[in-house]
Amino acid sequence: MNKKFVTIFPICENVHLTKDLGQIPFFLKHNYNYNSSIVCYKNNKEYSNLNGEVKGLKLEFIENKGRFIFLEKSVLSYLKNNSKKIDVLNLYIFSKFSFVYGIYYKILNPKGFLFLKLDGYNETFKEGNKIKHSTNSIKNLFFKYLENIFLKKVDLITIENSLGEKLVQQKFPQIAGKIMYLPVGVNDLYLNDNFKNDIKSFDQKENIFLTVGRIGEKIKNNEMMLRALSQINLKDWKMVFVGAINPEFLIFYNEWIKYFPHLKEKLIFIGEIKDRKVLYEWYNKSKVFCMTSWNESFCHSIGEALYFGNYIVGTNGIVSMYDLTDNEKYGIILNVDDDSAMAKKMQELIDNPNFLSNVFPNIVSYANQEFVWSKIVEKIYIRFENR
């Protein structure tokens, strides 16, 4: 009988399915024949990715019955009725919700495997930082009690960057062996099916700096890109922005471009792309990927860019940059407010095309070794099987 893997994430939307939330259960199903599903409310009318990157993955929709104290009644009911049939339960985020759901699962199914996936925001686990689950001191003591029980019962905790792995191990040395670095990857099965014969060589690529995301959202710090671009000679290069554009950023850009009209034809705003094949084609065409976030855990789009051989220009606000660039072999890590350093590096890349050409095959090889879901999910599969 196939082993049952369940991710409980009540707020799951279609967009989550192309990320770790959907990819992990999908690859366990596809590569290891697990009976995988995601338990959630029906938050979208359609989950189109079920016919795309995670075709065949099952969503188990539960009815939103409100909360009991701070807990989702429907989740408690689901666990009560199904825990004994679940071989691996996957929860997200180090929180009071995960503590209660995880403990309840292990009470009902002591032999079950409890897997908690953390994001990559390391601040929570830094030395000297006291983790608080409530501003009320009495409640916080109770949640710390639950935290301790949860840590005794959990079987595997993963985090998205290698520094985070060390911090969590130092924070909870009693469970150091249960903690593992697990990056975010790209769906190599989908890409092999759709791009196997179409991935461009370096010579086929275009002179494009690319960024993908919610353009103009404060955390993305896209203004830094504009300021850097105003300091360089782009020559025959262009800067392409892919993603929905924040109206406030558009106002900023329209004023800014008045001072730099020579850049108007060099900056291309594509808007939001919902078709994944069309989005991947932009990574396929570009040579350099830029991400200037103030604060971000593991940037999914950087992994996608690496897969297509893009060199990375990013900031130290992205916690996983050292992992993504292999300690700056395949990219540069800038301070989030250092426009001049970004301009200098972009100019170097423009003026020295041989550098990008030479590093391109190594980037592709590194991405295929470290950041594809087939190899990432294999690591946790081994842990499930060899507990």
Q: How do residues 98-126 score in pLDDT, each as one tens digit?
A: 999 999 999 999 999 999 999 767 777 87
pLDDT in tens, 259-280: 999 999 999 999 999 898 999 9
Residue type at position 94 = F
Give the tens place of pLDDT for each residue, 3-20. 999 999 999 999 999 999
Q: What is the mean pLDDT of residues 246-265?
A: 94
State the burial class of residue 167 (Cβ atoms within 10 Å of its Cβ: 0-12, 13-18, 19+): buried
The amino acid sitting at 152 is K
Residue range 356-368, pLDDT digits in tens = 999 999 999 999 9
Taken in order of first residue, the domains within the chain and their CATH numbers are 4-185+372-385 (3.40.50.2000), 188-370 (3.40.50.2000)
Query: Which residues are paired to 90 by β-bridges?
Result: 7, 115
Answer yes or no: are the C-beta atoms of 308 and 196 closer than 8 Å: no
307-328 burial, b if ≥16 CB within 10 A, otherwise e?
bbbbbbbbbebbbbbbbbbeee
The two beta strands, 71-72 and 67-68, are: antiparallel
User: 186 and 282 in contact (C-beta within 8 Å)?
Assistant: no
Name the residue with tokens 């792309």.
273
Query: Does residue 46 have a pLDDT over 70?
Result: yes
Q: Say whether pLDDT at 167 is over 70.
A: yes
Match 């707020």 to its residue by tokens. Answer: 11
The answer to whether residues 239 and 225 touch, using CB atoms and an 8 Å cutoff, is yes
Q: Please tell me the distance from the alpha carbon of residue 165 to that of residue 117, in angstroms, as a whole number.
A: 12
How high is the pLDDT of residue 368? Answer: 96
